[in-house]
Amino acid sequence: MRYIFKFPDIGEGLDEGTIVEWHVDKGATVKMGDSLVTMETDKVVTAIPSPKDGVIVAKFGKVGETIKVGAALVEIEIEGEENKEAQSEAKKEELVEEEGAGVVGTLEVASNELVLSASSEGVEIKRDKRDGGKIKALATPVARAMAKEMGVDINLVKGTGPGGRVTKSDIQNWDRAAHLKSTKIEAKREIVELVEIEPLSQMRKSIAKNMIQSKQKAAHMTLFEEVEVSELDRVRREFKLTYLPYIVKAVAITLKKHRVLNSEMDWEGGNMIYKKYYNIGIAVDTPKGLVVPVIKNANELSIKEIAAKIEELSMSGREGKLTLEQMSDGTFTITSYGSLGGLFAVPVINYPQAAILGIGRVSKKPIVKDDQLAIGLVMPLSLTVDHRIADGGESTRFINDLMGYLTNPISMLME
């Protein structure tokens, strides 16, 4: 018995994924749990395991192809009596198809007015008058079905079969990016030389979708402040840490005093959800784009433990090894663009959270201390809140309390 295994819904609202690597070939024997293919989704790169024991008789999609949830990934011959013939059938399948491609005679392709006569002398093509004279591709049934399954426009594929017929191998080997590049070069070479075209990655699609959703569903308001952090700089240098662990700890403590900024609005249900746990997301810049791993229960961790967790999550993010668990259930987000040189920004809320804190570049500035002009280390802060949830007064009180902890980091130990 043959079983079509479709790309499963792995949660988090994901509806498509890109094939990163195939781990099996046609004719290979697999066991339940063996990795079939590695997929890149909106949030993670993950291996998809085989749901059954059997032999792979067909694969759908090639590396770089985007596959929708519910679309076929592989066809498996389930172990049993029929399994003895599965591997030989897989090897014969292409041969049978190719033999069918060389049939001599007249084949109806798209309509009664579009036919192709194939013989050893060549190919005669009749155009479809109802389609503006456009030539339709001639293909084997298996190739046509595979093209439909993979979302490939078969009319763009150059056939290598008899009479220029498109075969299954043509579909499998067709490179959309190469075709686009070739077409552009043939049409207008100078344009290709001025631009570089790359398909959108799943991560970039996810970032774009989340940003649009946040802007459409939340009422953004941003407060700007500057806090003097000379004492914090002295302490963090003594313990050889960055500013971020202290900021994460200070945010977690401050959120316990301001539950509005650790909440979300259930608009449809008509409720406010105030969270009694403090999971702080940290925006991490990776070669593929921005990811936001989450430090769970940050209020219960020491600053040293937070620093270790930041290092672990950042490394996983840069290597593309974050799991859904490591990126889910955040209650508040911190983005530290200052590490790259920025001062102030207007961060976009990680919806449905209520707020996000931006950290700018720490720099020396003249300050007034004890009525005397002095040089201090100043950290710019940008707090964006969902104004539907948090009013200006509550937002200001939050950032003032946060600044108190950053100005006097030892006070965090008293909480």
CA torsion 366→369→371→374, rounded to 10°?
A: -40
Measuring CA to CA, which residue among 346, 357, 207 is closest to residue 290?
207
Judge if the upstream peptide bond of residue 352 is cis by omega within 30 degrees of 0: yes
Phi first, then psi, for residue 162 (nearest 5°) are: -55, 135
Beta bridge mates, 381: 225, 359
Give the distance, in angstroms, between the CA of residue 228 and the centroid of all CA atoms in the same chain: 37
Distance of CA 303 to the CA centre of its chain: 30
CA 305 to chain centre: 28
Stretch (H or E) spanning 399: helix 392-407
Cβ atoms of 104 and 123 closer than 8 Å: no
| Closest of 222, 247, 233, 224 to residue 362, by C-alpha | 233
Q: How far apart, in Å, do the first and last CA atoms of the chain sit?
A: 64
Nearest to 137 by CA among 152, 122, 169, 159: 159
Residues in contact with 172: Cβ distance below 8 Å, sequence separation at least 6, in sequence order: 62, 146
| Helix, strand, coil distribution of the chain in percent, nearest 5 | 40, 30, 35
**For residue 389, which of 276, 267, 278 has the smallest C-alpha distance?**
267
Residue 87 φ then ψ, to 5°: -65, -40
Phi, psi of 272 (to 5 degrees): -105, 135
Q: Is 179 a catalytic residue?
A: no
CA pair distance 221, 312, nearest whole angstrom = 32
**Of 23, 179, 220, 387, which one is the catalytic site residue?**
387
Catalytic center residues:
387
